[in-house]
Structure 1
Amino acid sequence: MKKINSIIMFLFLLISGHTFSQKTENFSVDFETFNLENGLKVIFHQDTSDPVVAVALTAHVGSAREKEGRTGFAHLFEHLLFLESENLGKGGLDKLSARIGGSGANGSTSRDRTNYFQTVPKDALEKMIWAEADKLGFFINTVTEPVLAKEKQVVKNEKRQRVDNRPYGHTFYVIDRNLYPQGHPYNWQVIGSLEDLQNATLQDVKDFYNQWYVPNNVILTISGDFDKEQAKEWVHKYFDEIERGPEIKDLEKQPVKLEKTKSLYHEDNFAKLPELTLTWPSVYSYHEDSFALEILSNYLADGKNAPLYKHLVKEKQLTSNVSMFNYTSELAGQLMLQVRAYDNKDLDSVKYAIEETFVEFEKNGIPEKDLKRIKAGLETGFYNSISSVLGKGFQLAQYEIFAKDPNFINKEVHKLLEVTAEDVMRVYEKYIKDKNYVATSFVPKGMQDLALENSEKAEVVEEEIVEGAEEEFDASQEVSYERTPSSFDRTIEPPYQGKPEIKVPEIWDARMPSGMKVMGITNNEVPLVQFSLEMRGGQLLETPEKAGLSNMLAEIMTRGTSRKTPAELEEAIELLGASIYVNASEEKLTISGNTLAKNYAETMDLVKEILLEPRWDKEEFNLIKQETLSRLQEEKGDPNAIAQNEFKKLIYGEDHILSYNELGTPETVEALSLKELKNFYEDNLSPMAATFLTVGAISKEKTVNGIKGISASWAPKNLDFPEIPDFKLPEESKVYFYDVPGAKQSVFAFGAPALSAKNEEFYPAEVMNYRLGGGSFASRLTQELREGKGYTYGIRSHFMDRTYIGPFMITSGVRTNITYEAAELVRDIVKDYSSTFNAEDLEVTKSYMIKSNARKFETLGAKLNMLREINDYGYDFDYVKKREERVGELSVLDIQDLAKKYVDPDRMFYLIVGDAETQMDKLEELGYGKPVLLNSEENEK
């Protein structure tokens, strides 16, 4: 993936020749397609609900089209295509995105396809079509040796972050090498190997591009608010003259069959708990058995009614969670069952419990009520998947590319609904019962005895930490190249077309007799309602001696009610096609979820039960304790979790409750009693400190009527909220190090207390941060550490929004052997920012901040978050419009003053989580004294 936290599993549509309308009840998705003479397939979907348009290219090439020894090319290309093209110049789509207020040019790679996508204000559509055409027809000449050398480092950093430097990161590598035979296109990982990436030559790259990135292997999707006839003209103008490539044949399906069961183990440097994964050969996407397999996986493992949950979690108490899923791809599939066991649990006992569960399932099958329960969520899931213009395009495309039938947008739900109990048992017997599988045991270092008996040691390639091992490159080097001819001057960027009118949703509010506030937005685009009951409190109402109370309260509130067992409550929710979650955070306890609009009233009845009639089940309370202790143990091996937890201690001071892990500590969790949990519940929840937020296809009247029962039954009382101190900047910077021996990356958490989200300077400070580290590829931190040096996969800075003084933070993971160099560069960028921010920076910042508002309210989730900010921080209903005015007033001097005030590199905490033996001592050269080792014996809490 190009960008952090962007895991996009949907695909884009290819259809030829007609206009269709697919309908579920009264909802329709209309689309029109046409082909260019060069083979490019184009799909249009119009949606005028918001002034935005999504544009995407999908190439039918993923890791399955690579060759052994040259793996990772498809993913490497995903990165390269954002860097530069002949007519956009350096920075390509990323620079354009910043100027036009786009969502950020992004992409993803799978085994079978690579896609590139972005949502932009509607006035920028021609610019995006121009840019996407440049990527497809005017790109490859810009890839030079320095460009390739730098991007290799970025991709290798991504692999370290996603695979090498995290617990259980090598699981799929071990499974796929043993499930698929050598030569099978799924035998290797999408991201490739470090060795293959390093060995890639410039000619390899050009050959790959010329073979696969041709119009007849690519789909262009445009969805949103646009004029179809005008868009067709632009598509023809910019794409017609790109030459067709050689014909490309579809790959044959390649399902696999195991001749024997394979058991393998790996001692994981980061894992603190043993994990067992069982993988059976399965079916390719949309195979006739895939629907029953999906329901089988859901029934066996998902939720409190699942047989595996009942046996492994409740009865045997081997784990807190069981997951099972049918992972399908274009050519083959794999059915996977995964259990992360409790500390020191032998995985043979886990496997035996799984086998016992299967025996019971063979006797009983799947009850009809569970079939109904599982199917009830399908309608809600469908609507959720199409709540944005990009989501609608993704959903349609999925069916054409893998099912070869766009009309499958109707058929899939029906296929799932047609699955019978007999079908579920049939696929169990066909793919699981007495069938061979791959079993992987990932265990903590030195705990091989926890692995399955007779397991063989898995082959895992571990990178050595070697100083100066990476090749040098000069990313700023100017290189000339031959330009691709065109019938017109493509260097001229198209103009904006009109000006999008920002549609700020109309907000209504009310007050219940109990004192509970209500806020909402009515939106009928999809027949869903999202809701959130937000109650002030959370971790802030705890004491250090009782840390973890609010988290445990949130957990137990979904473990049944006085009238329903945990399984009965879950079943009642799922039969409505609804979801209800309870979550505790620093400042609040929240009951949230979504439901079909037609089931809103019944869903609120269940929210009322959850809120006002907890079950207080002793057995569930003990289970929650065990699960929480297991999560705390698990976090000890995750460098990112370690960084987060240790940074809080530095910011808030070790004696303040905010410095504690929200889960609590092993000591406080172990000591908590059910009576203390009840007291905390009775003392700290009141409708007078609660707001109900709702967004979706429901009126104010129906919203209020649905929660009258909650208000009438919830006794109001005044709550005392503790005063929160004004957390202060450190007098001088200091470096802190947390040792994770053998770490492949160093995780950075740099920062200091800054300001509250209620402060009138909070939003101007966010504007100031855009060019520093908040603007992704438009930011200096990204441009210099990723694009300039190849030190990291990603880096960002942000102000944490809280009602109290929250921190300014810079976070990243950098390759281990340049830890000091990267930290020094971050310090220098921050130090120079206030004095070097200029008029051009301000112009780009203002353009993005104002134009991106067109995307501000597109989804129900975005609208709900707007209500949340208004409620939490006291913003005006039209605060988005007022922010536009505020941005327009800011000057270069204003930004420089804000940077000096809130971003001082000489008064920060510099926390690094990494390999102390090779990296810590050098950090003294930063000039902030000798680094403090946090997990030395004398410093451990």
Structure 2
Amino acid sequence: LTLQIVEQRELPVVDAVLVVRTGSEADPAGKAGLATLVANMLDEGAGSRDALSLAEEIGYLAVRLGTSASLEQSSAVLHTTRATLDSGMALMADVVLRPTFPEKEFARLKSERLTGLLQEQDRGPAMADRAFAALLYGESHPYGRSASGARESVDAITLDDVRTFWRSWYRPNNATLVLVGDLTVADAEALALRAFGRWERGPIAPPAYPTVATQRAGTAIHIVDKPKAAQSSFRIGSIGVPRSTADYYPLMVMNTALGGSFTSRLNNTLREVKGYTYGAGSGFSMRRAAGPFTARAEVVSAKTDSALIEFMNELRSIRKPMPAEELAKVKRYLRLGYADGFESTSDIASQIANLVPYNLPASTLSAFDAGIGKVTAADVQRVAMKYLDPSKLTIVIAGDRASIETPLKATKIAPVDVRDMRGRPVIVP
């Protein structure tokens, strides 16, 4: 088990994050949603406690303890005072090392997940998210499916699947424990040894990702029909970059100007100037492999075509040389705002934990200011030209097809077709 320790002694509190470097990308074929169900099950009974007793103990100690999983990691998070640190870490160790996976709680969580998936079918943003990922990567790729799974995949998950996933991936040689707060390095090492010293190693084979075409042949507009929807959910983008990219800092500057802040071009145009939406933005999801670039907004239905025109205008405009004043403003915004992410022990623990799945050194955090400072206007234009090609975009719009299809076709921006929320073609009259 790797330890990462930060002494932060101003207050008698400690935050711990245990990061397992495996998430839903390791879901077996036909069992999408398994990693997140495993994480949800960890605190539903552990050691000698059932779910209720565990919740009562957490309340008695006045600690926060939670578990979760995402695409490329699973985690347990603890916030505790120094006085309750030993007891809190013992609970955390029980949850991670000794979950009981009771049948009753599994049935309840599975039922809740299926209900949530059913509700997603009436939520435009969720429909757009799912279709966009599937169209970019394909449903067989981990990046092309939701970490929550689908109805049939969740139906197929058994309690044995949960136990097998946990045994396979929750191993100390696949994990890092981050400890931040009122403790010394010696304290942290002793604490980790008491809590996790008997955790047994296991063989870990990183999941293999299917090959994905780098970009599509041309831009296309895909409507996901949500009859009588009052708004249209936009997802516009392409396959971007991995977290390891050498272009990280220029991309941060370029995207902050485009859609990464409240005063960005997209938000200013679509919200402040046009009044089409409450907010518009964009971002690069940088993962182990190349994640998506996505520009997004929830737009009043009657302005769907007009909003698309403005999106395309801004995506073309960002490829032009950035004015010196705007460049200086964006760099100042990023550099001065960076400290907000380190205000508390939990913030610091989260920042370090976010590096773990990508094997990035802790020095990455202190390199940010200088990295942003070195970005030039030429760098911004270069990455915009390289990674944002308006002629090769996937455009997904979840909305009322009856009212938006004809206006979208009239824009002549790209061919228009209809898909379901998994990105599959829909035959329409």
Q: State the distance in 2 between where 1:657 and 1:834 align.
A: 30
Query: Structure 1 803/580 Cα, relative in aligned 2: closer, same or farther at 3 Å?
Result: same
For 2:285, the equivalent position in structure 1 comes to: 800
Q: State the distance in 2 between where 1:926 and 1:705 align.
A: 65
Q: Is 2:405 aligned against 1:920?
A: yes
| 8 Å contact kept, 1:741–1:917 | yes
Deviations 1:466-514 (A, max 9, x none): xxxxxxxxxxxxxxxxxxxxxxxxxxxxxxxxxxxxxxxxxxxxxxxxx
Q: State the distance in 2 between where 1:856 and 1:641 align.
A: 28
Matched residue type, 1:653: G
Q: Is 2:261 aligned against 1:775?
A: yes
CA shift for structure 1 position 911:
0.7
Residue number among 216, 236, 239 corresponding to 1:730 in the alignment? 216
SS of the residue corresponding to residue 920 of structure 1 reads: helix
Matched residue type, 2:403: T
CA shift for structure 1 position 735:
0.5
Q: Is 2:92 aligned against 1:607?
A: yes
CA shift for structure 1 position 857:
1.9
For 2:236, the equivalent position in structure 1 comes to: 750
SS of the residue corresponding to residue 691 of structure 1 reads: strand
For 2:363, the equivalent position in structure 1 comes to: 878
Deviations 1:713-734 (A, max 9, x none): 2111220012324642212111
Matched residue type, 2:175: A
Q: Is 2:183 aligned against 1:704?
A: no
Alignment of 1:310-459 (within 5 A): none
For 1:437, the equivalent position in structure 2 comes to: none
Q: State the distance in 2 between where 1:670 and 1:855 align.
A: 42
For 2:391, the equivalent position in structure 1 comes to: 906
Q: Is 2:44 aligned against 1:555?
A: no
Deviations 1:32-65 (A, max 9, x none): xxxxxxxxxxxxxxxxxxxxxxxxxxxxxxxxxx
Instruction: Give the unaligned 5+ runs of structure 2.
Output: none
Q: State the distance in 2 between where 1:706 and 1:940 align.
A: 56
Q: State the distance in 2 between where 1:834 and 1:658 align.
A: 27
Matched residue type, 2:144: S
Q: State the distance in 2 between where 1:864 and 1:586 align.
A: 19
CA shift for structure 1 position 547:
1.2
Q: State the distance in 2 between where 1:663 and 1:855 align.
A: 30
Matched residue type, 2:118: Q
Q: State the distance in 1 between where 2:340 and 2:47 align.
A: 43
CA shift for structure 1 position 940:
5.8
Q: State the distance in 2 between where 1:826 and 1:861 align.
A: 36
Q: State the distance in 2 between where 1:594 and 1:657 align.
A: 31
Query: Structure 1 882/918 Cα, relative in aligned 2: closer, same or farther at 3 Å?
Result: same
Q: State the distance in 2 between where 1:938 and 1:517 align.
A: 43
For 2:348, the equivalent position in structure 1 comes to: 863
CA shift for structure 1 position 884:
2.4
Q: State the distance in 1 between where 2:424 and 2:64 align.
A: 47
Deviations 1:698-726 (A, max 9, x none): 22222222221343221112200123246
For 1:441, the equivalent position in structure 2 comes to: none
| 8 Å contact kept, 1:544–1:657 | no
| 8 Å contact kept, 1:758–1:874 | no
Query: Structure 1 720/926 Cα, relative in aligned 2: closer, same or farther at 3 Å?
Result: farther
Alignment of 1:68-467 (within 5 A): none
Residue number among 275, 287, 298 corresponding to 1:790 in the alignment? 275
Q: State the distance in 2 between where 1:846 and 1:726 align.
A: 35
Deviations 1:225-255 (A, max 9, x none): xxxxxxxxxxxxxxxxxxxxxxxxxxxxxxx
Instruction: Give the unaligned 5+ runs of structure 1.
Output: 1-515
Q: State the distance in 2 between where 1:634 and 1:868 align.
A: 32
For 2:12, the equivalent position in structure 1 comes to: 527
Aligned residues: 425
Q: State the distance in 2 between where 1:917 and 1:560 align.
A: 49
Q: State the distance in 2 between where 1:534 and 1:854 align.
A: 23
Residue number among 245, 252, 256 corresponding to 1:766 in the alignment? 252
Query: Structure 1 736/575 Cα, relative in aligned 2: closer, same or farther at 3 Å?
Result: same
For 1:629, the equivalent position in structure 2 comes to: 114
Q: Is 2:310 aligned against 1:813?
A: no
Deviations 1:60-87 (A, max 9, x none): xxxxxxxxxxxxxxxxxxxxxxxxxxxx
For 2:103, the equivalent position in structure 1 comes to: 618
Alignment of 1:467-506 (within 5 A): none
For 1:719, the equivalent position in structure 2 comes to: 204
SS of the residue corresponding to residue 707 of structure 1 reads: helix
| 8 Å contact kept, 2:141–2:209 | no
Alignment of 1:549-588 (within 5 A): 549-588=34-73
Deviations 1:126-148 (A, max 9, x none): xxxxxxxxxxxxxxxxxxxxxxx
TM-score, with structure 2 as normaliser: 0.94
Residue number among 333, 336, 352 corresponding to 1:848 in the alignment? 333
Alignment of 1:49-60 (within 5 A): none
Larger radius of gyration: 1
Give the aligned CA root-mean-square deviation in angstroms. 2.0
| 8 Å contact kept, 1:772–1:797 | yes
Q: Is 2:74 aligned against 1:596?
A: no
Residue number among 169, 175, 186 corresponding to 1:684 in the alignment? 169
Deviations 1:557-587 (A, max 9, x none): 1111241111111111111111211111111
Query: Structure 1 732/587 Cα, relative in aligned 2: closer, same or farther at 3 Å?
Result: same
Q: State the distance in 1 between where 2:211 and 2:375 align.
A: 27
Q: State the distance in 1 between where 2:319 and 2:222 align.
A: 25
| 8 Å contact kept, 2:142–2:209 | no
Residue number among 153, 166, 184 corresponding to 1:668 in the alignment? 153
| 8 Å contact kept, 1:726–1:805 | no
SS of the residue corresponding to residue 319 of structure 2 reads: helix
Matched residue type, 2:105: E
Using CA pairs under 8 Å that are at least 6 residues apart, name the structure with larger relative contact order, 1 or 2: 2
Deviations 1:436-483 (A, max 9, x none): xxxxxxxxxxxxxxxxxxxxxxxxxxxxxxxxxxxxxxxxxxxxxxxx
Matched residue type, 1:662: A
Query: Structure 1 670/940 Cα, relative in aligned 2: closer, same or farther at 3 Å?
Result: farther
Q: State the distance in 1 between where 2:379 and 2:247 align.
A: 11
CA shift for structure 1 position 808:
0.9
Query: Structure 1 836/789 Cα, relative in aligned 2: closer, same or farther at 3 Å?
Result: farther
